[in-house]
Chain A
Amino acid sequence: DIQMTQSPSFLSTSVGDRVTINCKASQNINRYLNWYQQRLGEAPKLLIHNANSLQTGIPSRFSGSGSGTDFTFTISSLQPEDVATYFCLQHNSWPRTFGGGTKLELK
């Protein structure tokens, strides 16, 4: 199975901050990586697919980059409603595997 190592696991941030989250795959997954937001008690919501494609309806402050084994997710200017847990998913091969998640909190 492909291991997805996500960092950091926790981030204390402020409104307006630039937030960066990383996912590293244990082997090449090309660009087959998605990023999700999960608010407490809700289902995950797709933000970015195939490493850098913004899902329809998602604000442009969210972006993704990377290919191969190293990927980055960025929120350019954190808004209060962005407080949530974010995680990555590789869909290059089965079984699909997930990063461990990054929980954002406001300072």
Chain B
Amino acid sequence: DAGVIQSPRHEVTEMGQEVTLRCKPISGHDYLFWYRQTMMRGLELLIYFNNNVPIDDSGMPEDRFSAKMPNASFSTLKIQPSEPRDSAVYFCASSLGTGVQPQHFGDGTRLSIL
């Protein structure tokens, strides 16, 4: 079975540029989560969706960050404009809403803002 697929795996760009991270969840999963991982702050939940609708975006750090889920098989996290402090590993995860199911993580996008 294909797991959660994220692209790109690595992104290096200059400050001020727009960055778009992409995620394809596991087919049939109705929840999608975006996380950020840094050494200083650990794993932080940014936003999550249920059936393509954002449910909780309280973790989105500021207006420079936005996330969309136009359909059940695709989501994007966009940073515009990017800043060096946005450098981190960004993970997407998906899960089934029925019962108590684990979240399944992609392998992340390592983002470096110069």
Chains A and B belong together in one complex: no
Residues of B bordering A, CB below 8 Å: none
Residues of A bordering B, CB below 8 Å: none
